């Protein structure tokens, strides 16, 4: 029997995941369901946890990927599935670097969580093979270039095009061109509305101390 620990700051999500565990009583039993990632560490230390279903953004701004990496270092035998309602593709690389076994988009995966659990506990690993089909105004996530995605990720956290240019090692004029193209593709009329769309679409996982963007 596999003992499952659920970590998610949303009560309804914890209940939904608990229902997935309960749907396979021959294979899984719920050990606990908690809101904060840091609280998973002492529970893992008990030796009773076999599988952790871990959200990225948890209570008190605790990052599930960062905590998962620490769990994997101390208890490599514990299997971990990262879950998120955001479509931030950077999180996939971060989870792999942390040694996380599997990754499941809550809203965009074409596979059920219970299936991912079975694959993971069988010694396998499941990560999305394609960009999630996230609608972005008049376009979709998969239609954007890698550079356009990089700029969209940064827009909510940087107050000027100059700051984005410095971060990406490109010119400010190039940033402006990309933003104009993004506005055209999505149907947004301004940088501010583009930022709003990115946030509404849950494109980028927010930083704990993000800066308020300007409206240039």
The token duo for 50 is 């076999």
Specify the CATH architecture of the domain 2-121: 3-Layer(aba) Sandwich (3.40)
Residue spans of beta strands (DSSP E) within the chain: 2-7, 28-34, 51-55, 79-84, 102-105, 135-136, 139-140
pLDDT digits (tens, 9 = 90+) for 111-138: 999 999 999 999 999 999 877 778 889 9
Q: Give the per-residue pLDDT at 216.
A: 39
Stretch among 21-30, 130-139, 175-184, 206-215 having the lowest mean pLDDT: 206-215
Q: What percent of the chain is predicted at pLDDT more than 70?
A: 94
Pairwise pLDDT comparison (204 vs 82), residue with the higher score: 82
Provide mean pLDDT across the span 81-101. 93
Q: What average pLDDT does range 34-49 have in this prediction?
A: 97
pLDDT band at 209 (very low <50, low <70, confident <90, very high): very low
Are the beta carbons of 97 and 67 closer than 8 angstroms? Answer: no
Closest CA to 106 of 124, 121, 128: 128
What is the location of CATH 1.10.10.10 in the chain? 135-200
What proportion of the chain, given as a percentage, has pLDDT over 90? 72
**Selected residue with higher pLDDT from 76 and 208:** 76
Who contacts 19 (Cβ-Cβ below 8 Å, separation ≥6)? Answer: none
Name the band, by pLDDT with cuts 50, 70 and 90, for residue 202: confident
Fold of 135-200: Arc Repressor Mutant, subunit A (1.10.10)
Beta-sheet pairing, 51-55 with 28-34: unpaired
């Amino acid at each position: 029997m596999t003992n499952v620990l659920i970590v998610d700051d949303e009560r309804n999500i914890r209940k939904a995941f608990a229902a997935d565990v309960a749907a396979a009583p021959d294979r899984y039993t719920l050990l606990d369901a908690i809101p904060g990632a840091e609280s998973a560490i002492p529970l893992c230390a008990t030796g009773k946890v076999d599988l952790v279903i871990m959200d990225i953004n948890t209570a008190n701004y605790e990052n599930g990927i960062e905590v998962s990496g620490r769990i994997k270092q101390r208890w490599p035998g514990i299997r971990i599935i990262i879950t998120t309602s955001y479509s931030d593709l950077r999180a996939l690389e971060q989870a792999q670097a942390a040694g996380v076994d599997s990754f499941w988009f809550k809203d965009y995966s074409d596979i059920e969580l219970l299936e991912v659990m079975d694959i993971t506990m069988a010694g396998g690993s499941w990560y999305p093979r394609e960009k999630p089909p996230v609608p972005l105004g008049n376009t979709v996530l998969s239609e954007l270039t890698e550079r356009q995605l990089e700029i969209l990720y940064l827009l909510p956290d940087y107050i000027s095009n100059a700051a984005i240019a410095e971060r990406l090692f490109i010119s400010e004029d190039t940033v402006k061109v990309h933003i104009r193209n993004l506005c055209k593709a999505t149907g947004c009329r301004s940088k501010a509305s583009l930022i709003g769309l990115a946030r509404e679409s849950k494109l980028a996982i927010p930083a704990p101390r993000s800066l308020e963007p300007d409206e240039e």
